Structure 1
Amino acid sequence: MLLKQKPKTLFLSTFLISSAFFSQAHNVSAGYQKPDDPLVVQNLEQWQDLKFGLFMHWGTYSQWGIVESWSLCPEDESWTQRKPEHGKSYSEYVKNYENLQTTFNPVDFNPQKWAEAVKKAGMKYVVFTTKHHDGFAMFDTKESDYKITSAKTPFSKNPKADVTKEIFNTFRKNGFRIGAYFSKPDWHSENYWWPYFPPKDRNVNYDPKKYPERWENFKKLTFNQLNEITSNYGKIDILWLDGGWVRPFRTIDPSVEWQRTIKVEQDIDMDKIGTMARKNQPGIIVVDRTVPGKWENYVTPEQAVPEHALSVPWESCITMGDSFSYVPNDHYKSSQKIIETLIKIISRGGNYLMNIAPGPNGDYDAVVYQRLNEISGWMEKNQSAVFATRSAVPYHYGDFYYTQAKDGKTLNVFHIDDKTDYETPSFLTFLLPENFRPKTLKVLGLASKIQWKQVGNTMEIQLPEERTKLKFATVIQMTN
């Protein structure tokens, strides 16, 4: 439940929330360390202007319509349950899962179609899963034959077989910033899950201190594949590293439940990896998720939105459907819900990375394009209140959410209603920041002149009949 507090109280809570939020939310770590590389600082500032990004989980698993990778992991999690028709035993299941490589042929793959649709909806950067935990590379790695460009994979004969290259090049040409998701753990690698031992959970299944040569080989695999991605795929702006259990043992936060399962040292030498990535891509943002320190340049709450503004760069990764991976007949969020989520996130200073999962044929569900088209209609009218903005006191008050231009001269106030299909009220009243004296006021998307008056630090607005054509939210824009 969002708290309805007066501005001064809410402003204080901005600084009090961090420890509680960081310790409880999935995939968020405490102890943020601000980068000191000027190019990284500049890139991070520009990234914070983008606000809305596209996340894509895609791999061979889309053919079964199951959760990405996790069914391989023998942890007792409800979302990882294996279907009997895919294998009666664990070993049979793994064999059949890995055999999906031999049938993966997404012939409808057309990244230009995706780029055009999401660009109209206001998305300005893309983060694509080059390799998930299952180890299947969606790029042309030289380190493994478990990849989309292998002769074992039917799609390898397609001229667009290196889908990572196609996606990055296409989206870059369409003006997007480029992010490469990469899983640090690799459950296909015999140097992470050594066949000599059965895997017990998501972690390495042997003790790297007892078998240092095997762990060193795994570190080389990780380094070499990340070197390939940052060397061979054009300009990359973000290196988004998942699998935070692969980390130095000293960085474990025992207050986080999943980190308590880490029993052995899994240091892959992020200093070496990060230095290499910055040499290949000067100024690249590195996101070593949940591992506090110099290589976690922004924090990444997953499927959650912080209740308050945060004082560090952050991004919520949230699915458009229920799943990060393709599931037939998924339940997609309404356009209103997506826009409400975007408003809440940007009012608290974050970015919204919305995941859309392509299917086994290489395209999105038709309903995805419908949602994107509806969002584009709203974004066309209201984008000036969304992009290149920052959070503004009082952040959130009742059903109102605030952003401001970076120079502080323009204030944007969003009105939403979580409970209903949105209808703009005829009368709106909300708080203004202290010392803000509006000189002009308009409602984005309305041509009519708006009647308004300021009483102390309260704004009162009478809206015309024309208001009925507004959808999803009302956006008031004022200059000081």
Structure 2
Amino acid sequence: MTKRDMYMDNAEAEALQQAAKSELSEEVQDRRLAWWREARFGMFIHWGLYSLLGGVWKGKEVPGAYGEHIMLRGQIPVKEYETVAESFNPTRFDADAWVRAAKEAGMKYLVITAKHHDGFALYDSAVSDFNIVKRTPYGRDPMKDLAEACRKHDVKLCFYYSHSMDWHHPDSQGNTHDYPNNIGAWDDLESWINDEDKRTRYERYLNEKAFPQLKELLTQYGDVGLIWFDCGHKVTDEQGQRFVDFVRSLQPDCLVNRRVRRDGFGDYGNSGDNQLHIRINRKDWESIHTMNNSWGYKKTDHNWKSVKSILHNMIDVFSLNGNYLLNVGPTPEGEFDDKSIEILQGVGRWMEQNDESVHGTSGSPIGKPQWGRCTANGQKLYLHVFDWPASGELIVPGLRNGLARAYLLADPKRTPLRWERVGKEDIRLYVPSEALDPDATVIVAEAEGELDANPVKRLLEKDYANRFGAFDGDIEGEKLRYDTGKKDRDVVTDWANVADRIRWTYRAASPGDYSVKIVYGAQEGKAGGTFIVETNGQKLTGSVTAKGNGYEFIEQELGVIRLDEPGSYGLTVRADTITGDVLMNLKEVQLRPVKSR
């Protein structure tokens, strides 16, 4: 991922900035967020003029993963882009069908791009005639139809609004091919905030278009669940707070997301786009994902994710107390394409059986078990088993309570599963030989009394490798940092200081021997050195082998460590020598059981 892409849409662009303090009391925040916390799962919809182009301009595919960025990436002049509206006629748009598809997939809220960065309003705006009613042959307001359908099906209507960038407006940010003196799409805040001309003109855009259009969205369509802002790193703290206050003044219960400005602003946090791994620094947060690569419809994007990978991703988010927004990019005709429908239906079939393990739940009290993930609701643990145990025995780690009962959620008879305690902190469940669902089988474990759990990773002695992912470790040092957490970027990187290290805590329930494997990437001509993996006073050393661009991962066996007794341990990876610019990009350490002692 390039820095340019990061500064377009991704919340990690602001991750290093100091968090702002919330102005809300906990009581007000809890009341406002109650519906959102219960919902857990929503639909994102990116739809607009860019959908008609589908990533292609004048017969040529425009570079860039995101179809909705075609105006910028293709350097399409405003006057030419405006003519696209003359052919935008989504006669097959059916708001009721969209909302039903969301509801049948188990989604409780819907976020639609009322205006994206291209400045085109997908509703009847009196503020700017660059909108679907005044410029297209369609001539209708689809937001009115969606508002009605959402009320009918009890789905929360929410609006995405690009507040910081508008490539159609002469005083906004991003479009420097039509307006050379504008703030550039990748210009950081510090580069223009003291430029009186740019600052003054940008304020004119905010006052002439952004705030008035927000008023339209918050006064013309009934109750709005949330306003989903984007690219908040491009506005000041004062401007970001003005947007929050403005929303509050019109609909006090309407939520505002973090991207209105930066971490600490709004009601809840956001991950980056398609970020698979995240370090949680806010109780309430939301992860956003596409079914392929692009958000808006793109003709050439056939890199579809499997239903299984989407389910595992969203369950991981739920287990971390997050919400999950899954995006659909409708066709220019106004329909969901066949593949998107297939994926939604696949997710919906799983949710129909297992929605109890999602809606109204909170994050895992037992950490991240090797076999899958966990959510909780009151005294119930929902064990989402991705990898079924070959032995027929499933360890529920860290649960100090006894069980009132345990059963498979999809079993209509709720046949009790046999269980027994293993020491003071673990329970062994005896499960059927095969999983009910090959994607994710849910077991309900009802605890006796109030939940009492230990989230520290517990080593499993059979069936599974014990994986210590980089994003689950704690960094110590000045240079080492977490990468973006996107696909194949779940590493710690910039390991340029020999004193830097990463550390995990784990516990062992019994003595045992474990083989140690390290997984890393090392860029040729840049990375190199030696490292030490240490636990329980035992040290294993390895030498970095450089290969490719630093994200072609190498698995290296280091040897065997012995744990002579149960207890808590630390696992550390540190540099011994650094012979390149950096040591390596560390992805994970594995402790694989060799034998019990």
TM-score by structure 1 length? Answer: 0.78
Cα displacement (A) at 1:58:
0.5
Structure 1 residues 346 and 90: CA distance shift in structure 2, 3 A: closer
Q: Is 1:441 aligned with 2:420?
A: no
SS in 1 for 2:309: helix
Further displaced range: 393-402 or 303-312? 303-312
Within the candidate set 294, 309, 325, 1:323 is matched to: 294
Contact 1:310-1:348 at 8 Å conserved across structures: no
Question: How far did residue 468 of structure 1 move?
Answer: 4.9
Q: Residue 444 of structure 2 aligns with which residue?
A: 477
Specify the alignment match of 1:427 in structure 2. 392
1:368 aligns with 2:368: no
Q: CA deviation at 1:98?
A: 2.6
Mean Cα deviation higher: 106-115 or 24-33: 24-33
Alignment of 1:232-311 (within 5 A): 232-248=220-236, 269-289=239-259, 291-292=261-262, 295-301=265-271, 302-307=273-278, 310-311=281-282
Matched, 1:163 2:163: no
* Cα offset, 1:299, TM superposition: 1.3
Aligned partner of residue 169 in structure 2, secondary structure: coil
Q: CA distance change for structure 1 residues 468 and 83 in 2, over 3 Å: closer, same or farther?
A: closer
Match of 1:106 in 2: 90
Task: Assess, with a 3 A threshold, how the Cα gap between structure 1 residues 50 and 475 changes in structure 2: closer, same or farther.
Answer: same
CA contact (8 A) 1:104 1:360 kept: yes
Contact between 2:19 and 2:264, CA under 8 Å: does it hold in 1? Answer: no
Secondary structure of the 2:270 match is: coil
Shift of 1:436: 2.0
Write the letter of the residue equivalent to 1:230: L
Distance in 1, Cα, partners of 2:141 & 2:67: 31
Question: Counterpart of 1:118?
Answer: 102
Q: 1:26 to 1:209 in 2, by over 3 A?
A: closer
Q: For residue 4 of structure 1, what is the aligned residue in structure 2?
A: none
In the alignment, does 2:156 pair up with 1:191? no
CA contact (8 A) 1:105 1:153 kept: yes
Establish whether residue 201 from structure 1 lines up as the match of residue 184 from structure 2. Answer: yes
Match of 2:429 in 1: 461
Gaps (5+ residues) in structure 1?
A: 1-22, 252-266, 418-422
Q: Indicate conservation of the 8 Å contact 2:65/2:293, yes or no.
A: no
Change (3 A) 1:82 1:396: closer
What stretches of structure 2 of length at least 5 have no aligned partner? 1-9, 448-597
Partner of residue 11, structure 1: none
The 1:473–1:181 alpha-carbon spacing in structure 2 relative to 1, beyond 3 Å, is: same
Are 1:390 and 2:362 counterparts? yes
How many Å apart are 1:199 and its aligned residue? Answer: 5.2
The 3 A distance-change label for structure 1 pair 56 and 67 is farther
| Alpha-carbon distance in structure 2 between the residues aligned to 1:209 and 1:416 | 56
Change (3 A) 1:61 1:40: same
Q: Name the CA distance, whole Å, in 1 between partners of 2:370 and 2:345.
A: 29
Q: Deviations over 1:68-93 (max 9, x none)?
A: 9xx9x9xxx84479999x999946x5
Partner residue in 1 for 2:550:
none
CA drift at 1:311: 4.0
Change in CA separation of 1:80 and 1:452 when aligned onto 2, cut-off 3 Å: closer
Equivalent AA in structure 1 for residue 442 of structure 2: V
Partner-residue secondary structure (3-state), 1:113: helix
Residue 387 of structure 1, CA deviation: 1.1
CA distance in 1, matches of 2:158, 2:266: 14
Structure 1 or 2, whichever has the larger Rg, is 2
Name the CA distance, whole Å, in 2 between partners of 1:90 and 1:413. 49
- 1:386-405 residue CA offsets vs partner (Å, 9 max, x unmatched): 11111122220212211111
Q: Distance in 2 between the 1:200 and 1:212 partners?
A: 9
Task: Point out the more displaced range, 221-230 or 185-194.
Answer: 185-194
- The one-letter code sitting in structure 2 at the alignment partner of 1:324 is W
Preserved contact between residue 139 and residue 149 of structure 1 (Cα < 8 Å): yes
Aligned to 2:371: 399
SS in structure 2 of the partner of residue 392 of structure 1? coil
**AA matched with 1:175:** D
In structure 2, which of residues 153, 160, 177 is the aligned counterpart of residue 181 of structure 1?
A: 160
Q: Deviation at 1:209?
A: 1.7
SS at match of 1:375: helix
Contact 2:375–2:383, Cα closer than 8 Å, also in 1:
yes
Which residue of structure 1 lines up, in the alignment, with residue 126 of structure 2?
A: 142
The C-alpha deviation readout for 1:339-392, integer Å capped at 9, x for no partner, is: 111110011110111111101110011122222222222112211111111112
What is the total number of aligned residue pairs between the two structures? 419
Aligned: 1:66 with 2:31: no
Secondary structure at the residue paired with 2:364?
Answer: strand
Q: CA, structure 1 residues 399+372, in 2 after alignment: closer, same or farther (shift >3 Å)? A: same
Change (3 A) 1:310 1:203: closer
The question of whether the paired residues in 1 share the 8 Å contact of 2:119 and 2:130 is answered with yes
Q: How does 1:14-29 map to 2 (within 5 A)?
A: 25-26=12-13, 28=15
Change (3 A) 1:458 1:288: closer
1:354–1:288 Cα change, 3 Å: same
Alpha-carbon distance change, 375 to 211 in structure 1, aligned in 2, over 3 angstroms: closer
Q: 2: CA distance between counterparts of 1:343 and 1:212?
A: 43
Provide Cα deviations, 1:2-51, integer angstroms capped at 9, x if missing partner.
xxxxxxxxxxxxxxxxxxxxx99356565253451554431223312211
Query: What SS does structure 1 have at the residue aligned with 2:114?
Result: strand
Give the match for residue 514 of structure 2. Answer: none
Q: Give the aligned partner of residue 43 of structure 1.
A: 32
Query: Residue 453 of structure 1 contacts residue 461 of structure 1 at CA under 8 Å; is this kept in 2?
Result: yes
> What is aligned with 2:283?
312
Contact 1:346 1:390 in 2 (8 A): yes
The alpha carbon displacement at 1:111 in A equals 1.5
**Aligned in 2, Cα 1:188/1:206: closer, same or farther, shift over 3 Å?**
farther
Q: Which has the higher contact order (CA 8 A, sep 6+)?
A: 1
Task: Report the TM-score when normalising by structure 2.
Answer: 0.64
Alignment partner of 1:190: what SS?
coil
- Judged with a 3 Å threshold, the aligned counterparts in structure 2 of structure 1 residues 355 and 90 are, in CA distance, closer, same or farther, namely closer
- For residues 459 and 286 of structure 1, the distance between their equivalents in structure 2, rounded to whole angstroms, comes to 41
Question: Which has a greater percent of helix?
Answer: 1
- Residue matched to 1:8: none
Check the 8 A contact 2:317/2:324 in 1, yes or no: yes
Contact kept, 8 Å, 1:313 with 1:350, in 2: the verdict is yes
What is the percent sequence identity of the aligned residues?
Answer: 26
* Distance verdict in 2 for CA 1:458–1:27, change over 3 Å: same
Displacement of 1:435 in angstroms is 2.3
Bigger shift: residues 381-390 or 306-315 = 306-315
The answer to whether the Cα contact below 8 Å between 1:56 and 1:355 also exists between their aligned partners in 2 is yes
- Aligned with residue 31 of structure 1, among 2, 15, 19: 19
CA distance in 2, matches of 1:241, 1:67: 27
> Secondary structure in 2 aligned to 1:343?
helix
CA contact (8 A) 2:55 2:67 kept: no
SS of structure 1 residue aligned to 2:330: coil
